[in-house]
Copies of this chain bind each other. A is one copy, B any other.
Amino acid sequence: MTTTGAAGVEGTGDLCCASVVDAPLSQSEADRLARVFAALADPVRLRLLSLVAAQAEICSCDLEAPLARSQPTVSHHTKVLAEAGLIVGHKRGRWTWWRIEPGRLSEVRAAIGG
């Protein structure tokens, strides 16, 4: 099982070629982009993301302590990030391991004029 919100690299929606600095964004492009930014708009999720990015793979159980949040809260945040396509998780035994999806961050970077 891959705990990704949607298929492939794309989380909530494809970001390709939608750029804030180019022609005015369409309604739907803005919606898709806003969803990814919303996932990044929480300090706990940003720290979670940086923890995942720092270790190639990390277990949910190793996130509660550094984030100082309860297990349900951590689970909520991983879900949000996964649905945005920013991280991917898969279960192995009793544990869920998360890794970053670097391509997604690149898409975001491109969308703001990368």
A: number of interface residues (CB 8 Å): 37
A31, A43, A106, A108 — most chain B CB neighbours (10 Å):
A43
Please name the 6 residue pairs, one residue from A and one from B, whose CB atoms are nearest each other, closest first: A30-B43, A38-B41, A37-B41, A37-B40, A34-B43, A30-B46
The chain A residues found within 8 Å of chain B, CB to CB, are: 19-25, 27, 30-31, 33-34, 37-38, 40-47, 49-51, 53-54, 66, 100, 102, 105-106, 108-109, 112-114
Copies of the chain in the assembly: 2
Are A112 and B109 within 8 A (Cβ)? yes
A40, A45, A113 — most chain B CB neighbours (10 Å):
A40
For the complex formed, measure the closest distance between the CB of A20 and the CB atoms of chain B, giving whole angstroms.
5
